[in-house]
Amino acid sequence: MTLGWGQIVRLGLVQLCIGSVVVLTTSTLNRLMVVELALPAILPGALVALHYALQMSRPAFGLRSDTKGNRTAFIIGGMAALGLGTFLAALAVAIYPLAGWQALVLSVLAYVLIGFGVGASGTSLLALLASGTDPRRRAAAATITWLMMIFGIAVTAGVVGSLLDPYSPVRLLWIVAAVALIAVTVTTAAVWGIERKLGAPATEEASVKLIDGLREVWAEPQARRFTLFIFLSMTAYFLQELILEPYAGLVFGFTAGETTKLTSVQHQGVFLGMATVGLALSGLKIGTLRGWVVAGCIGSAAAIAGVAAMGQVEGGRILPAVWALGYFNGVFAVSAVGAMMSLAGEGRSAREGTRMGLWGAAQGIAAGFGGLMGAGAADVMRLVLPDATAFGVVFGAQALLFIVAAMMATGTVAARGAARVPTVMAGE
C-alpha cells in the first residue's frame, strides 16, 4: 500500500507545525535578543547553530526508521521535544535581564531539545513520505508538504507579530506556549494510524550499523555530489536568517511585531515561489528541476542585493525586496527538495531514510554554519562600519554564494527529475 493524496496532506500538516514552531526561534526570539536585550547577534546565532548542529543525529534517526520502523512515535515525540524546547527558549529570553547566566544555561538546554526534536520528527516524517509514496508522486509530495510548511511559517509569523505588540515577556510566553501546544496536538492527530496502514518496513537488516549505512549511501556518486550541493546552497540560503530582523529593527526602526510580520511577508513570497514551480512544471510543462534550481539561486542573489541596497537609500522600502527574496528562495527550495525526494528512492533499496538523514544533516550543518557566520560577520562589521553598511557586506557575500550554488547546480541536479513533479497539480 502507498500513501494517498489525503494522507500526504495529513503528513504535510506535520511539516506545517514544524515550521510554525521553528520560526519563533529563528525570527522572533532572535530579534528580541539582539534588539530589545541588546545582546550581540553571535549569541542567538550560536544557539541556533547548536540546534542545527544537533541535527547531525538525522542519519541515525533515518537509519533507525529504515530498519526498525515506528516512525510515528519519533514524529510525535520529536514534536513534543521541539515544542518544549521552544517554550524554554522563550522563558530564557524573559529572564535574561534578571539572571543572565541562568538564562544562558536554560537557552542551551532549550536549543538542544529543539535540535533533537526537529531531527527526530523531521527526518522520520520525510522517511515515511519517501518510503510510503509511489515513486511517481515523491516530488509531488515534497511540493505539497513544503508548501504547507511555508504556509504555516507565514501565518504563524503574521499572527504572532500582531499579538506581540506591545511586547512584554508574559505576552511572549503565552503566545509561544499556545503555538507549541497546538503544534503537538495537530501533529498527533495528523500522523496517527498512517504508518500502521502502510504495513511494517523491511527488517532483515535491522542489525546494520550507522557507519555502514552511511558508507553505502556515500559510495553512490549521485548522493555524494548532491550532499555537497545541499551544503553549499543551504549555507547561502541561511546566511541572512538570523540578521534580517535585527537589520530591519536597527536600520529601519521596525518594532518587534513589525519585524515578525516582515518574516511573514518573506514566507508569503516563499509560498508563491513554490507554487509557481509546481504550476510551471505540472500545468504548463515549463522548465526542469535543474533549471528552476538555478533560477531560484540567481533570483535570490539579486533579491538579497536589493535588501542590502535599500539600507543605503534614505527612506528605502525593504518590504518589496524581502518579498522578492522569499519568492526566489521558494523557487530554489521546492526545486531542490523535489530533487531530494526523487533521489531518495534511487540507489540501494531500503535506504530512503538514510539518504534523507544524510541530506538533512548536510542542510542542518549548513544552516547552523551559515546563520552563525552571518551573525558573527555582522557583529564584526558593525564595530567598524555603520549598521546599514555592515549588514550590506554580509548580504553581498550571500549573493555571491548563491551565484556559486547556481553554477554547481548545473552539474549536480538531474534535469530528468522534473518529470516527477507534474503529478502534484495534475491530481494523478
- pLDDT tens figures, 74-119: 899 999 999 999 999 999 999 998 888 999 999 999 999 999 898 8
Residue 426's pLDDT band, with cuts at 50, 70 and 90, is: very low
Greatest extent of the chain over all pairs of C-alpha atoms, in Å: 66
- pLDDT tens figures, 284-335: 778 787 888 899 999 999 999 999 999 888 777 899 999 999 999 999 988 8
Radius of gyration of the chain measured on its C-alpha atoms: 20
Number of Cβ within a 10 Å radius of residue 218:
13
Residue of 382 and 58 predicted with greater confidence:
382
- pLDDT tens figures, 207-220: 455 566 556 656 66
Residue of 361 and 404 predicted with greater confidence:
404
Residue 59's nearest CA partner among 223, 277, 195 is: 223
Residue 75's nearest CA partner among 133, 1, 16, 128 is: 128
Residue 254's pLDDT band, with cuts at 50, 70 and 90, is: confident
Average pLDDT of span 176-186: 96
Q: For 14, phi and psi rounded to 5 degrees? A: -65, -45
Residue of 423 and 193 predicted with greater confidence:
193
**DSSP class of 166:** S
Average pLDDT of span 155-183: 90
Q: What is the pLDDT of residue 217?
A: 57
Residue of 201 and 148 predicted with greater confidence:
148
Q: How far apart are CA 60 and CA 365, in angstroms?
A: 15
Average pLDDT of span 176-192: 95
Average pLDDT of span 369-388: 90
For residue 170, the one-letter residue type is V
The three cell numbers locating residue 392:
550590506
CB crowding 103-130: b at 16 or more within 10 Å, else e? beebbeebbbbbbbbbbbbbbbbbbbbb
The mean pLDDT value of the chain amounts to: 81
Residue 422's nearest CA partner among 43, 98, 143 is: 143
Q: How far apart are CA 407 and CA 391, in angstroms?
A: 25
In the chain, the percentage of residues whose pLDDT exceeds 90 is 31
Q: For 220, phi and psi rounded to 5 degrees? A: -80, 115
* Of the ranges 67-71, 125-129, 255-259, 322-326, the best mean pLDDT one: 322-326
Residue of 144 and 88 predicted with greater confidence:
88
Q: How far apart are CA 367 and CA 238, in angstroms?
A: 5
- pLDDT tens figures, 198-250: 765 544 444 455 566 556 656 666 667 777 888 888 899 889 888 898 899 88
Average pLDDT of span 9-36: 88
The answer to whether the predicted template modeling score (pTM) of the entire model surpasses 0.85 is no
Q: How far apart are CA 274 and CA 135, in angstroms?
A: 20
Q: How far apart are CA 307 and CA 398, in angstroms?
A: 11
The three cell numbers locating residue 349:
533499496
**DSSP class of 253:** -
Q: What is the pLDDT of residue 41?
A: 79
DSSP string computed for 86-101: HHHHHHHHHHTTT-HH
Residue 423, classed as helix, strand or coil, is helix
The three cell numbers locating residue 378:
555582522
